[in-house]
Structure 1
Amino acid sequence: MAMHLPSNKGRGRRAPMAEINVTPLVDVMLVLLIIFMVTAPLLTAGVPVNLPESRAKALQQDAKPVQIAIDRVGDVYVDTVKVRFEELPQLLAPLAQKRDADGKPPQIFLRADQALDYGKVMRVMGELNRAGLNRVSMVTDAASANDAAGSPAAAPAEAATKDGAQ
């Protein structure tokens, strides 16, 4: 293995070093990678909800859905904004007017704590249906035996309505 060492033969001047030291660059990139890996899961969940487990597969989504969460005490959040249940119809009306490229209303992800009373979840689903938002998916935690990654899954809700809306 040959190595070029600068010699002191030429009047005390050294040749300029033409190599780039990539070790600091690699160190910085690894630290940034770790930071992004730790913070990325924290950016997806806005409201802490203890989700039930499900064996449903995750849905493929193109557009960003509207997140509605109901926490353990029954507080309702639209995205990350806490709203009173009485204000929910006024907030859902403008959402129902928005349409995607196919003319469908926006996708709704409903996240509800597993310890929550079933009636509270159905009240929110009833308001969604009344507003015309019938593309509702209930978000669950994937069953640990079926999904080693443990990523949340969204299962389409089968709403029991007269028109068979989903």
Structure 2
Amino acid sequence: MGAKLSSGSGGSKFHIEQNSEINVTPFVDIMLVLLIIFMVAAPMASVSIEVNLPTAVAPPQQNPPKPIYISIQQDGGVFIGDKPTSLADLGADMKIQVGKRDPDKERIFIRCDRKTRYADFMQVMNALQDNGYYSVALIGEDGNK
């Protein structure tokens, strides 16, 4: 908001009136300068050098197979996915679950109850290793909840 000094009738030498007009000239000047900068910079940003790129010869990667989850309950019960099994049948059930895939490339995750006996866990690990499954990971809960 600005003020306008005027001399006119009144008790004082200068009478101050309010001017409510907005001066948009600086705003327009800044917009025009930005427009010119972008008009100059835009052609520089485009790539004008022609390059003959080689074609990719790598075969596309297949999606990894679905991981297999083995669960061990507190009482020693063993499950492959949702299907119950026993330690004696674990190797045969794993071969059915894996099918024709390579057992060395299988991702096997073991989940245990907090109160599972260590001996039960080691029996499952030994049964897996006896049947050629060496890539085993353990699943735990995130403690930052």
**TM norm structure 1:** 0.44
How many equivalent residue pairs?
A: 82
Written as runs of structure 1 = structure 2, the 5 A alignment for 1:91-102 is 91-94=93-96, 95=98, 98-99=101-102
Q: 1:67: which partner in 2?
A: 69
Query: Percent identity among equivalent residues?
Result: 22
CA contact (8 A) 1:71 1:116 kept: yes
Q: Which has the larger radius of gyration?
A: 2
Contact 1:96/1:132 (<8 A) preserved: no
Task: Describe the SS at the equivalent of 1:82.
Answer: strand
Alignment partner, residue 11 of structure 1? none
Which stretches in structure 2 are left out of the alignment for 5+ residues? 1-62
Q: Deviations over 1:92-145 (max 9, x none)?
A: 23438522xxx843100100111010010000001111111111000000122x
Give the Cα–Cα distance (whole angstroms) in 1 for the partners of residues 101 and 78 of structure 2.
Answer: 21
Which residue in the other structure is 2:122 paired with? 122
Show the counterpart of 2:39. Answer: none
- Write the letter of the residue equivalent to 2:117: D
Distance 2:130 2:86 in 1: 17
- Kept in 2, the 8 Å contact 1:96–1:133? The answer is no
Amino acid in structure 2 at the alignment position of 1:88: L
Unpaired runs of 5+ residues, structure 1, are 1-60, 145-149, 151-166
TM-fit CA distance, 1:80:
0.4
| Deviations 1:38-66 (CA, angstroms, capped at 9, x unpaired) | xxxxxxxxxxxxxxxxxxxxxxx943210
Note if contact 1:68-1:111 (Cα within 8 Å) is conserved in structure 2. Answer: yes
Aligned counterpart in structure 1 of residue 88 of structure 2, from 86, 89, 96: 86
User: If the length of structure 2 is used for normalisation, what is the TM-score?
Assistant: 0.50
> Partner of 2:6 in structure 1?
none
Deviations for 1:66-103, whole angstroms, at most 9, x for unmatched residues?
0100111110000100112221121123438522xxx8
- 4+ residue runs of structure 1 moved beyond 4 angstroms? none
The separation in 1 between residues aligned to 2:99 and 2:126, in whole angstroms, is 14
Question: What's the counterpart of residue 108 of structure 2?
Answer: 108
Aligned to 2:17: none
